[in-house]
């Protein structure tokens, strides 16, 4: 008699009927066990989340669980005995039989034992993506194939939405006028938008995966690497103004850097967003040059025109005073006082003219001009203003010297106008790589919030602009003893050596 394990379902039912007509106890127990196992297996299959379909070696459907019925909109009875390709859209339907026969003849699998994404065809004609894995079962010399099916429509929609979002984000990045990039902790670029590519002069495939030393000269690469390390070490965003060599030209940028953190709050990348302010810096320089020329013109006019006219009035007043004295006129003293006031006006006019049109700044001129600025401030505003320069500072760049003088002049004017100080100190000192210019007063000072915001007044903005055009930095802080401290740092060649 054929073993129970090799009987078909119909044969098992027939055998069960014979048992009911007088089977022995051992047969009845075995059939009960088989029936229980089959009932348990059917319950498991029908409660499975995945669709499960079995087919024979001809590709004919043998069984379908409930999940598969719902997926394909067929009942198990409607599918039993039909070819599996009824659930496949063109062209897979035509190709399936070839895959089956080739596997049975050669043993070369197409999808056996391999999970893959394919398309399924529902009863209503709609096509949907599914994840399919197929296993082979051999029993009683027969080949059975079990397919495990999962509808991945939601996942595909999510992937399509994500891809669309990524494409839109890429479009936003590429159309941004800002330089946007991201580097991993090894300093290799992972994102580089179109503006960054244009700035570097390389296509994206020559940027991604490379570090700065492959893209820039050694000095620029070292500066960028140091800035990245500073952001990673602090864990905080940083903003800086940087002058970098891009190709054959120096470009000026305002760079925002910030770290990115993973789920464990560990940094894994540094993002940079930079705006090219080269043209703006050129315009600022031109505006400051225009302002300087206007100052010089006004100073010259005061000296040559108003000064000369006042000098003429003084001579006339003195002549009038002398004539009145000779005649014994009672108003002779008034004429003398007028002449004295005119002489005082001439002195003030010359001071103003000198401030608007200072002496040549190069060489010792910066020291001399700052010393004279302190002296004139003391005389005109009756404030104790001194110049402190511990050692000789020779500057051979008139452009830098002029802007440093104007920064000092503006800081002193601001202190007098807003702080009402009793003492002001202008200091100038050498550094290994440049100069420090300081203006310290003991007045009322600025509010902390105003200093943090960079100041609202035109004076502070002008000083910052002047510092930026000479590649310097300007710091405005509260003086610990009251008042305001202004510090301008500028990197220039050793002032003690002529270039």
Q: How many CB atoms lie within 10 A of CB 308?
A: 11
Residue 196's CATH number: 3.30.450.20
Decide which of 335, 356, 377 is a domain's last residue: 356
Lowest-confidence segment of 75-89, 190-204, 393-407, 420-434 by average pLDDT: 393-407
Question: Which residues are within 8 A (CB) of 439 and not within 5 positions of it... i.e. 6 or more apart?
Answer: 408, 411, 412, 415, 424, 425, 426, 427, 485, 486
Higher pLDDT, 472 or 4: 472
CA distances from 178 to 165, 172, 173, 217, 257 (A): 20, 11, 8, 22, 13
> What is the structure's pLDDT at 358?
62
* 171 occurs within a structural domain: no
Q: Both 136 and 188 in a single domain? A: no
Confidence of residue 355 (pLDDT cuts 50, 70, 90): low
- Bond prior to 91 in cis (omega within 30° of 0): yes
Residue 189 tokens, joined: 């670029």
Half-sphere exposure of 361 (CA within 13 A, CB side): 19
Average pLDDT of the segment spanning 147-152: 90
Q: Which residue shows structure tokens 């000296």?
A: 303
pLDDT band at 291 (very low <50, low <70, confident <90, very high): confident
Phi then psi for residue 395, to 5 deg, are: -115, 125
Q: How many CB atoms lie within 10 A of CB 264?
A: 6
In a domain, 173, yes or no: no
The reply to whether 120 and 263 lie within a common domain is no
Clarify whether residues 312 and 352 are in a common domain: yes
Domain of residue 309: give its range.
Answer: 277-356
Q: Are residues 402 and 499 in the same domain?
A: yes
Domain boundary among 314, 329, 356: 356
- Give the single-character DSSP code of 362: T
499 to 363, 395, 397, 492: CA distances (angstroms): 12, 10, 9, 11
Burial class of residue 126, CB neighbours in 10 A (0-12, 13-18, 19+): exposed
pLDDT of residue 147 exceeding 60: yes
What mean pLDDT is predicted for residues 177-189? 93
Average pLDDT over residues 330-353: 81
Q: What pLDDT is attached to residue 423?
A: 93
Q: Kindly state whether residues 291 and 363 are assigned to the same domain.
A: no
Last residue of a domain, one of 356, 390, 422: 356
Could you tell me if residue 244 is inside a domain?
A: yes
**What 8-state DSSP symbol labels residue 83?**
B
The answer on 201 and 86 residing in a single domain is no
Distance between CA atoms of residues 1 and 264, nearest Å: 66
Q: Is 349 helix (H, G, I), strand (E, B) or coil?
A: helix
Per-residue pLDDT at 41: 58
- The position carrying tokens 């320069």 is 389
Q: What is the CATH number of the domain that holds 437?
A: 3.30.565.10
For residues 289 and 395, membership in a common domain is answered with no
- pLDDT value at 81 more than 60: yes
Over residues 184-216, the pLDDT tens digits come to 999 999 999 999 998 888 999 999 999 999 988
3-state secondary structure (DSSP) of residue 176: coil
Mean pLDDT of 308-327: 82
pLDDT band with cut points at 50, 70 and 90 for residue 237:
very high
Same domain, 270 and 352: no
- For tokens 């910052």, name the residue: 464
Q: Are residues 306 and 397 in the same domain?
A: no
User: CA 423 to CA 493: how far, in whole Å?
Assistant: 32
> Are 344 and 366 contained in the same domain?
no
Per-residue pLDDT tens digits for 122-139: 999 999 999 988 888 776
Report the predicted TM-score, pTM, of the whole model to 2 decimal places.
0.50
Looking at the structure, do residues 385 and 341 belong to the same domain, yes or no? no
Least reliable range by pLDDT among 2-6, 110-114, 318-322, 439-443? 2-6
**Tokens at residue 269, please?**
């990348």
Check residue 298 and give its pLDDT: 80
In a domain? residue 80 = yes
Extended strands (E) in 363-447: 384-388, 423-431, 434-441
Q: CB neighbours (10 Å) of residue 31?
A: 19
Question: Are 257 and 139 part of one and the same domain?
Answer: no
Please say if the pLDDT value at position 23 is more than 70: no
**Tokens in use for 119?**
């398309």
Percent of the chain with pLDDT over 90: 27
CA distance 356 to 410: 11
Inside any domain, residue 240: yes
Question: What's the domain count of the chain?
Answer: 4
Cα(222)–Cα(237) distance, rounded to whole angstroms? 19
Q: Of 413, 285, 292, whose CA–CA distance to 356 is shortest?
A: 292
């Amino acid at each position: 008699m054929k073993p129970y394990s090799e009987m078909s379902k119909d044969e098992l039912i027939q055998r069960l009927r014979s048992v009911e007509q007088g089977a022995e106890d051992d047969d009845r127990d075995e059939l009960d066990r088989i029936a229980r196992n089959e009932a348990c297996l059917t319950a498991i299959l029908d409660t499975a989340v995945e669709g499960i379909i079995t087919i024979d070696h001809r590709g004919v459907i043998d069984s379908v669980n409930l999940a598969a019925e719902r997926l394909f909109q067929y009942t198990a009875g409607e599918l039993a005995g039909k070819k599996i390709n009824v659930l496949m859209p063109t062209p897979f339907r035509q190709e399936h039989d070839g895959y089956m026969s080739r596997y049975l003849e050669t043993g070369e699998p197409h999808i056996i034992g391999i999970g893959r994404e394919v398309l399924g065809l529902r009863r209503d004609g709609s096509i949907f993506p599914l994840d399919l894995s197929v296993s082979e079962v051999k029993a009683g010399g027969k080949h059975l194939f079990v397919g495990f099916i999962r509808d991945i429509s939601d996942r595909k929609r999510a992937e399509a939405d994500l891809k669309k979002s990524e494409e839109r984000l890429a479009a936003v990045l590429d159309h941004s006028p800002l330089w946007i990039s991201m580097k991993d902790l090894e300093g290799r670029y992972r994102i580089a938008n179109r503006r960054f590519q244009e700035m570097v002069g390389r296509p994206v495939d020559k940027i991604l995966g490379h570090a700065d030393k492959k893209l820039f000269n050694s000095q620029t690469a070292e500066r960028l690497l140091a800035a990245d390390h500073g952001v990673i070490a602090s864990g905080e965003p940083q903003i800086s103004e940087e002058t970098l060599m891009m190709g054959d030209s120096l470009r000026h940028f305002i760079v925002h850097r910030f770290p990115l953190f993973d789920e464990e709050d560990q940094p894994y990348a540094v993002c940079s967003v930079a705006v090219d302010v080269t043209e703006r810096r050129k315009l600022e320089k031109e505006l400051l040059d225009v302002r300087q020329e206007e100052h010089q013109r006004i100073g010259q006019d005061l000296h040559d025109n108003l000064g000369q006219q006042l000098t003429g009035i003084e001579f006339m007043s003195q002549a009038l005073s002398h004539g009145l004295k000779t005649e014994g006129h009672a108003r002779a003293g008034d004429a003398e006082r007028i002449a004295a006031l005119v002489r005082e006006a001439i002195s003030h006019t010359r001071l103003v003219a000198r401030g608007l049109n200072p002496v040549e700044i190069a060489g010792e001129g910066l020291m001399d001009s700052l010393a004279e600025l302190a002296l004139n401030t003391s005389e005109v505003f009756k404030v104790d203003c001194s110049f402190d320069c511990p050692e000789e500072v020779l500057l051979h760049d008139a452009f830098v010297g002029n802007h440093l003088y104007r920064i000092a002049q503006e800081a002193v004017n601001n202190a007098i106008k807003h702080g009402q100080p009793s003492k002001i100190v202008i200091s100038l000192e050498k550094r290994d790589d440049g100069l420090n210019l300081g203006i310290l007063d003991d007045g009322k000072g600025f509010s902390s919030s105003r200093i943090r915001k960079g100041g609202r007044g035109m004076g502070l903005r002008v000083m910052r602009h002047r510092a930026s055009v000479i590649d310097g930095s300007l710091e405005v802080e509260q003086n610990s003893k009251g008042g305001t401290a202004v510090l301008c740092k500028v990197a220039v060649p050793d002032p003690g050596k002529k270039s």
